[in-house]
């Protein structure tokens, strides 16, 4: 079975994450997409609690058939390493042929990743073009220019009608509700 693995912080998940998942399943040769929120970021990024990010990712991806959300990194120790995650998925599911979904921005940071060459052997890259990160090995971007960083900035502007309107376009409704209910990103 061909399975795409899409990892990230999902801090918080936004519409470009959902569209990327939909795109990969629609045009790629995959029966399933496993979305893996990072447990403990290897580059020391400050993140909302893991369980909150998992729940928000589940809410964001709920309408996309063929997606499963994995908590595998919680069992693998810290810091999270893509290589270890892919090895664990491969061991748990020996019939899976893995591909790793990455944005073109990752191609510029490959030297920072632990054993990137081994990652590519275990799960060849499925690259999505990302606005602002052109690369010769990446297709032209087709997804909107949205980032979790921008979403967090907007969330920090509570009471600003322009920020609220932009958030409505960038973050799935269920995720916005979860963020409000749990007072995240204050």
Residue 131 has pLDDT above 90, yes or no: no
What is the reported pLDDT for 44? 63
pTM: 0.93
Residue 42 has pLDDT above 70, yes or no: no
What is the reported pLDDT for 17? 97
Residue 127 has pLDDT above 60, yes or no: yes
CA 140 to chain centre: 19
Q: 142 preceded by cis ω (within 30°)?
A: no
In terms of pLDDT, which residue wins out, 137 or 29?
29
* Inter-residue contact 50 to 10 (CB < 8 Å): no
- For residues 157 and 150, what is the distance between their CA atoms, to the nearest angstrom? 11
pLDDT in tens, 153-169: 999 998 899 999 999 99
Strand partners, 5: 34, 100
**CB neighbour class for 147 (10 Å; exposed up to 12, middle 13-18, buried from 19):** middle
Q: Percent of the chain scored above 90 by pLDDT?
A: 75
What is the reported pLDDT for 81? 87
pLDDT in tens, 45-101: 789 999 999 999 999 999 999 999 999 999 997 777 899 999 999 999 999 999 999
Query: For residue 126, is it left (φ>0), alpha (ψ between -120 and 50) or beta?
Result: beta
2-181 CATH choice from 3.40.50.620, 3.40.50.720, 3.30.70.270, 3.40.50.2300: 3.40.50.620
By residue count, the chain amounts to: 186
Residue 182 has pLDDT above 90, yes or no: yes
Structural domain boundaries of the chain?
2-181
- Contacts (Cβ under 8 Å, ≥6 apart) of 173: none
3-state secondary structure 130-156: CCCCCCCCCCCCCCCCCCHHHHHHHHC
């Amino acid at each position: 079975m061909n399975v795409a693995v899409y990892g990230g912080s999902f801090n918080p998940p936004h519409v470009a994450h959902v569209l990327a998942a939909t795109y990969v399943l629609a045009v790629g040769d995959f029966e399933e997409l496993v979305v893996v929120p990072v447990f403990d970021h290897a580059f020391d990024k400050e993140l909302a609690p893991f369980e909150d990010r998992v729940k928000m990712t589940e809410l964001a991806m709920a309408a996309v058939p063929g997606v499963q959300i994995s908590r595998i990194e919680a069992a693998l120790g810290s810091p999270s390493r893509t290589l270890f995650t892919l090895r664990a998925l491969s061991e748990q599911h020996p019939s899976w042929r893995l591909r790793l979904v990455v944005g073109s921005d990752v191609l510029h940071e490959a030297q920072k990743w632990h054993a990137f060459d081994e990652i590519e052997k275990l799960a060849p890259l499925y690259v999505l073009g990302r606005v602002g990160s052109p690369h010769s090995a990446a297709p032209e971007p087709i997804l909107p220019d949205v980032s979790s960083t921008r979403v967090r900035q907007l969330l920090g502007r509570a009471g600003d009608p322009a920020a609220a309107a932009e958030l409505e376009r960038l973050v799935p409704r269920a995720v916005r509700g979860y963020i409000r209910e749990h007072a995240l990103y204050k």
